[in-house]
């Protein structure tokens, strides 16, 4: 009687046993291939550096100046954005906002226009809009905000001093 043909499950179970001896490589061969690959990587890196140097040499004076102008424009725009955020933070601090830096995140710095003296044009309108949107973040503070400022500090016990020193207070 002829034997039934093996099913796909039986073939898949036998395949790994047959395939494993073919995939094994000699450790010396693997080490040799790795050394060659490392040498090729070093050579490729050197060639890329030489190519970059040649490109820089062949760059005309106009191209160099153009690249420098782009770099300087990026620096100027970064400083300008920083100035705008600083002016906004100062404006919100003067408006007695409790968290001026937090509120400054709610405004797009690019939309702000600065005067020559560094103040924000239409700053009052901006503060008014933020006050209506976030009224809890503006205010005079608590009714007893200054109470106890001139009172002597409470006397600490030795245990409190030791805990503070150990960082557990």
81-112 residue pLDDT tens: 899 888 989 998 888 888 888 888 888 888 88
Examine residue 160 and state whether it is found in any structural domain, yes or no. no
- Read off the pLDDT band of 168 (50, 70, 90): confident
Note whether 125 and 113 are within 8 A (CB): no
Examine residue 97 and state whether it is found in any structural domain, yes or no. yes
Q: Provide φ and ψ at 138, rounded to 5°.
A: -120, 145
Examine residue 60 and state whether it is found in any structural domain, yes or no. no
Q: In whole angstroms, give the CA distance from residue 112 to residue 120.
A: 7
Q: What is the residue range of 129's domain?
A: 78-137
Note whether 89 and 122 are within 8 A (CB): no
Residue 130 neighbours by CB distance under 10 Å: 21
pLDDT in tens, 13-68: 554 454 455 668 899 999 999 999 999 999 999 999 999 888 878 878 888 889 89
Examine residue 147 and state whether it is found in any structural domain, yes or no. no
Nearest CA-CA partner of 117 in 87, 92, 137 = 87
Domain count, the chain: 1
pTM here is: 0.46
CA distances from 51 to 39, 44, 54, 58, 63 (A): 18, 10, 5, 11, 17
């Amino acid at each position: 009687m002829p034997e039934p043909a093996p099913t796909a499950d039986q073939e898949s179970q036998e395949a790994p046993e047959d395939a494993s001896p073919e995939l094994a490589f000699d450790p010396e061969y693997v080490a040799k291939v790795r050394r060659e690959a490392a040498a090729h990587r070093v050579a490729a890196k050197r060639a890329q550096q030489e190519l970059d140097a040649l490109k820089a040499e062949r760059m005309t004076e106009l191209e160099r100046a153009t690249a420098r102008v782009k770099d300087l424009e990026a620096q100027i725009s970064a400083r300008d954005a920083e100035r705008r955020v600083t002016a906004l933070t100062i404006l919100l601090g003067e408006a007695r906002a409790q968290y001026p830096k937090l509120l400054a995140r709610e405004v797009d710095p690019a939309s702000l226009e600065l005067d020559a003296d560094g103040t924000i044009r239409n700053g009052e309108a901006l503060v008014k809009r933020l006050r209506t949107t976030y009224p809890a973040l503006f205010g005079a503070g608590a009714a007893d905000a200054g109470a106890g400022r001139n009172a002597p500090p409470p006397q600490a016990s030795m245990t409190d001093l030791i805990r503070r020193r150990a960082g557990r207070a």
